Amino acid sequence: MTPLITVVPPEGLLLFDPDCGFCTVCARWLSRRHARVVVRPLPAADAGALGVDGARALREVPLVSGDGSVVWGAEAISGALASCPWPWRWAGWVIASSPVKPLAGRVYAWVARNRHRFPGGTDACRI
C-alpha cells in the first residue's frame, strides 16, 4: 500500500477527484503539459494533514503551494497552468490577472456544475 502524501512538494500539489471522469481527463491533460506542480488523485493525499477540506475538494480542485497555502477552483487551475512551459504559463497568468480573475471564477463554477456533461464526464461527476 502506497503511503498517503502528507508533505507538499516544493512545486505544489494539485489534487483532483478520481471518481470524476472529466476531472481525471483534465488532470492527465495537465500532466502532459509538463506542469511543475505534482498532480495526484485526492485519495493519494492526507487532505487533513495538508490543510485541504476533503469535502470541498470533491467539488472544487485545490492547489496546495509549497508554503502550505491552499487555493481553490479557477485560482488553482491558474496556478497549475502557470507552472507549465509556454504558452500554458501565459494562460495561467491571464486567468490570474485582475480583469479576467472574476470571470474565470464564474466560468470555473459553471464548468464544475456541468462537468458530468463534458467529455469524459459521467454521473459520478455530478456535484
Question: Quick one: CA torsion of 74, 76, 79, 82, rounded to 10 degrees?
Answer: -60
Q: Which pLDDT does position 57 carry in this prediction?
A: 96
Q: Which pLDDT does position 45 carry in this prediction?
A: 96
Q: Per the domain annotation, does 47 fall within a domain?
A: yes
Region label for 12, one of left (φ > 0), alpha (ψ between -120 and 50) or beta (otherwise):
left
* Domains: count for the chain: 1
Instruction: Output the pTM of the full model.
Output: 0.94
pLDDT in tens for each of the 127 residues of the chain? 678 999 999 999 999 999 999 999 999 999 999 999 999 999 999 999 999 999 999 999 999 999 999 999 999 999 999 999 999 999 999 999 999 999 999 999 999 999 999 888 888 888 7
Q: Per the domain annotation, does 76 fall within a domain?
A: yes
Q: Per the domain annotation, does 1 fall within a domain?
A: no
Q: Which pLDDT does position 72 carry in this prediction?
A: 98
Q: Per the domain annotation, does 4 fall within a domain?
A: no
Task: Name beta bridge partners: 62.
Answer: 72
Q: Which pLDDT does position 1 carry in this prediction?
A: 64
Q: Per the domain annotation, does 42 fall within a domain?
A: yes
Q: Per the domain annotation, does 6 fall within a domain?
A: no
Q: Per the domain annotation, does 36 fall within a domain?
A: yes
DSSP code at position 62: E
Q: Per the domain annotation, does 87 fall within a domain?
A: yes
- Residue 20: CB atoms within 10 A of its CB come to 25
Q: Which pLDDT does position 2 carry in this prediction?
A: 76
Range of the domain at 95: 13-120
